[in-house]
Amino acid sequence: MSPEKGVFFYAKFNLSALLHLAGQLRDTLCSCDESKRPESGALNWAITLSFEDGVEWIFRSPRRCHDISPETTASLLESEVATMKYVKLNSSIPVPEVFDYSWTGSNTIGIPFILMSKAPGNALSRFSWNAHPGGIVSSRKPLPCLKRASKEKIMKQLGVIYSQLLNLRFDKIGSLFEEDGEYRIKKCLLPALVWHERDSLDDDVPRGPFQHTHDYYESQLSAFLLHVKELPLEQHAFFAPIPELREFETLLSYQSANRLDYCVAGHLLRQMIPFITPQPFAISGNFENGYPLSHPDISTSNIFVDSDFNITCVIDWAFSSTVPISTLLVTPSLPHPRDEVDTTLVPTFRASFTRHFLRGKDIKLNPEFWDSTRRAWLFLRLVTLDSLQDYRYFTELYMSVHKPEDDIDVPRLFKDVQKEEEFVELATTLVEDDRSADEIQKDEEEYFYYSRSEREAIARKLTIVAGLSEGFVADKRLWQWIEEVLA
């Protein structure tokens, strides 16, 4: 078998040593299909090991990733194993069982790995969470769409799972590690602190563990601000909030003005932090404060179900950490955490959580608490730069916190802040650090070389309009017009 084919597509490793290890652990002969290419996600690849008695295990290893350093990747693997073991020991949440692991390549197999049980059932991603939009033609066969009753059943079960996570509380905010048989909270590996090369920001970003909620949010904000000043913004343009139409935002992405907009957003977000974390419970007896464990990527890819849509396993606990309660109890937004929450399913999740967590406890929920969970979701989407609607989410968060009598003019708000001395100086610095006109032109020419000429013309006109109009915001009307022009 060629080292670049089959199971060796992503990495060279000692397959014989792996099969020997698995066989020893179960005292049963083990094999795998060497010709089959591994399954893969953004960060990991995995193969299936089969035993003679029909049992299957998963061997998973990190992929090479330019977004995250090898050192951080090792920490993520070590923490994920500790988290899955702790959750299995202290709750009934279904998670994979870990049989062996190594966060370095210093082992007989030759690469970092987790050897664990295979999730029973099928990934929920085999179904479409939302109905396929009418009129859109796809080359792929559409997935079967989940019925309303199935969605409600999933949300009820997630409410139970979250109620159990709230019982797994620690006195600090950070990620879980195992040392000498004890579980300890150490540095925080939240995506907002390490993803998109943010782990390269080193000591400029506090990484915990954090003793106070305010420090936790401040650290994410620090990572966000350093990102927008120093790291690539990719498709993000604050006042063009539908970045999946990347052809039309390429010219904006290099402009220092866009970075300044995000710096202003960060400045205003800092003022909102105190409003994200109100006291969740009216303490009246048997509730101890603390920070619960949270799974940051509850998505249809990471939830497995049986034929009756009972949740059989929750996988991929990388990036997990303890968090403020308002962050944990954000209603899951499926199919992916960045997707908008289905408001019609929110009452189902909250009722299930409330019923199971408060059972037998002399505790009452603060009625205003649920508003803070929405604010926490908006804040996290913005500072992680994992949003498709930065402008809209910022506006909603600002309105929720400040409750102005009239709608807020966000472009005017930003212009006013940019007149302050601090931001005048920052604008000058960002211009000095920006790419040269020759570099931008070269990238534009390469990008549009294989595109139709009208695409480049539209992009240039949008850039001119954005520069001439103080209140420019691209909304769906603009994208619909562009779609019609290019049809």
Domains of the chain: 6-118 (3.30.200.20), 145-418 (no CATH)
Give the pLDDT score at 135. Answer: 46
Residue 473 tokens read as 């915001």
Confidence of residue 333 (pLDDT cuts 50, 70, 90): very high
Q: Which residues pair with 282 in a beta bridge?
A: 364
5 compared with 457, residue with greater pLDDT:
5
Give the pLDDT score at 347. Answer: 96
Decide: 193 and 174 in contact? Cβ < 8 Å.
no
Of the CA atoms within 13 Å of residue 57, those in its CB half-sphere come to 26
Residue 134 tokens read as 């009418």
Decide: 316 and 76 in contact? Cβ < 8 Å.
no
Apex 472 CA angle, 252 and 476, nearest 5: 85
Give the pLDDT score at 457. Answer: 59
**pLDDT tens-digit readout, 45-67:** 999 999 999 999 999 999 988 78
Residue 243 main-chain phi, psi, to 5 deg:
-70, -5
- The mean pLDDT of 448-453, rounded to a whole number, is 54
Give the pLDDT score at 387. Answer: 78
- The mean pLDDT of 118-144, rounded to a whole number, is 79
Span of 57-61, 334-338, 422-426, 433-437 with lowest mean pLDDT:
433-437
Give the pLDDT score at 334. Answer: 94
Helix (H) or strand (E) holding 64: none
- The mean pLDDT of 254-270, rounded to a whole number, is 83
Give the pLDDT score at 251. Answer: 38
Residue 160 tokens read as 């139970």
User: CA–CA distance from 382 to each of 133, 223, 371 (Å)?
Assistant: 27, 12, 17
Confidence of residue 244 (pLDDT cuts 50, 70, 90): very low
User: CA–CA distance from 246 to each of 103, 133, 230, 261, 456 (Å)?
Assistant: 37, 21, 21, 19, 12
Give the pLDDT score at 248. Answer: 34
- The mean pLDDT of 365-385, rounded to a whole number, is 90
Q: How far apart are CA 195 and CA 165, in angstroms?
A: 24
Provide the b/e sequence for 309-344 (b: ≥16 CB within 10 Å). Answer: bebebbbbbbbbbbbbbbbbbbbbbbbebeeebbee
**pLDDT tens-digit readout, 154-199:** 999 999 999 999 999 999 999 999 999 899 999 999 999 999 899 9
Q: How far apart are CA 256 and CA 266, in angstroms?
A: 15
- The mean pLDDT of 14-24, rounded to a whole number, is 97
Flag whether pLDDT at 414 surpasses 70.
yes
Furthest-apart CA atoms within the chain: distance in Å: 72
Flag whether pLDDT at 473 surpasses 50.
yes
Round to the nearest angstrom and report the end-to-end CA distance of the chain. Answer: 47
Residue 200 tokens read as 């390269």
Flag whether pLDDT at 241 surpasses 90.
no
Confidence of residue 273 (pLDDT cuts 50, 70, 90): very high
Q: How far apart are CA 4 and CA 18, in angstroms?
A: 18
288 secondary structure, DSSP code: -
- AA identity, residue 84: M
Of the CA atoms within 13 Å of residue 149, those in its CB half-sphere come to 1
Flag whether pLDDT at 239 surpasses 90.
no
Chain centroid offset of residue 247 CA: 24
- The mean pLDDT of 205-230, rounded to a whole number, is 94
Q: How far apart are CA 124 and CA 302, in angstroms?
A: 8
| Percent share of the chain, pLDDT over 70 | 80
Flag whether pLDDT at 243 surpasses 50.
no
Flag whether pLDDT at 208 surpasses 50.
yes
User: CA–CA distance from 248 to each of 251, 257, 385, 448 (Å)?
Assistant: 7, 17, 19, 11
Helix (H) or strand (E) holding 46: strand 44-51
Q: Which residues pair with 186 in a beta bridge?
A: 175
387 compared with 256, residue with greater pLDDT:
387
Among 155, 176, 116, which residue's Cα sits nearest to residue 315? Answer: 116
Give the pLDDT score at 242. Answer: 44
487 compared with 23, residue with greater pLDDT:
23
Give the pLDDT score at 245. Answer: 35
Of the CA atoms within 13 Å of residue 465, those in its CB half-sphere come to 14
Going by their DSSP bridges, the two strands 169-170 and 364-365 should be labelled as unpaired
Confidence of residue 288 (pLDDT cuts 50, 70, 90): low
- The mean pLDDT of 205-226, rounded to a whole number, is 95
- The mean pLDDT of 437-459, rounded to a whole number, is 58
- The mean pLDDT of 382-408, rounded to a whole number, is 89
Decide: 35 and 6 in contact? Cβ < 8 Å.
yes
Flag whether pLDDT at 34 surpasses 60.
yes
User: CA–CA distance from 88 to each of 20, 288, 325, 346 (Å)?
Assistant: 26, 22, 21, 27
Confidence of residue 258 (pLDDT cuts 50, 70, 90): confident
- AA identity, residue 291: Y
- The mean pLDDT of 216-230, rounded to a whole number, is 94
Residue 42 tokens read as 């953004």
Residue 348 tokens read as 């189902």
Helix (H) or strand (E) holding 182: strand 182-186
430 secondary structure, DSSP code: H
Mean pLDDT of the chain: 85
Give 279-320 as a DSSP string: --EE--SS----EEEE-TT--TTTEEE-TT--EEEE---TT-
Give the pLDDT score at 214. Answer: 94
Flag whether pLDDT at 282 surpasses 70.
no
Radius of gyration of the chain (CA): 24
Helix (H) or strand (E) holding 37: none
481 compared with 163, residue with greater pLDDT:
163
3-state SS, residue 11: coil
358 compared with 86, residue with greater pLDDT:
86
**pLDDT tens-digit readout, 301-317:** 999 999 999 999 999 99
Provide the b/e sequence for 161-176 (b: ≥16 CB within 10 Å). Answer: bbbbbbebbbebbbbb
Give the pLDDT score at 66. Answer: 78
